[in-house]
Amino acid sequence: MSESKPRLIREDGLRVDGRKPEDLRPIRMEIEVLKNANGSALVEYGGTKVIAAVYGPREATPKAVQLPDRAVLRVRYHMAPFSTSEHKSPAPTRREIELSKVIREALEAVVFTDQFPRASIDVFIEVLQADGGTRTAGLTAASLALADAGIPMRDLVAGVAVGKVDGVIVLDINELEDEFGEADMPLGYAAGVGEIVLLQLNGVLTPEEFKKAVELGRRGAERIYAQMKETLHKKYLAILES
Partner 1 sequence: MSITPQREPVMPKLRAENIIKMLKKGERVDNRGLHDYRSISVSIGIIGKAEGSALVKLGGTQVIAGVKAELGSPYEDRPNEGVLQVHAEFVPLASPSFEPGPPNEEAIEVARIIDRSLREPRAIELSKLIVQPGRLAWVIYDDVYVIDHDGNILDAGMIASMIALAVTKLPKLDISSEGVKINRDVKETPLPLNTLVTTITMGVLGDILVVDPSLEEESVLDTFISISVDEKGRIVGLQKRGLKSITPKTLDSAVEIALKKGDQVLSFIRKVISSPQEYMKW
Interface residues with partner 1 (CB under 8 A)?
A: 1-3, 65, 67, 70-76, 94-95, 97-98, 100-105, 108-110, 113, 120, 183, 185, 190, 193-207, 210-211, 214, 218
* Type and span of the H or E element at 171: strand 168-171
Between 25 and 163, whose beta carbon lies closer to partner 1? 163
14 or 65: CB nearest partner 1: 65
- CB 189, min distance to partner 1, A: 9
Q: How far is the CB of 31 from partner 1 (least distance, A)?
A: 23
Smallest distance, Å, CB 237 to partner 1?
30
**CA–CA separation, 118 vs 133, rounded Å?**
33
Q: Measured from the CB atom, is 100 or 136 closer to partner 1? A: 100
Nearer to partner 1, 32 or 105 (CB): 105
Distance CA 31, CA 46 (A): 18
Residues contacting residue 107 through CB under 8 Å, at least 6 positions apart: 73, 75, 123, 139, 142, 143, 146, 157, 197
Buried b (16+ CB within 10 A) or exposed e, 66-100: beeebbbbbbbbbbeeebeeeebeeeeeeebeebb
Min CB(2)–partner 1 separation in Å: 8
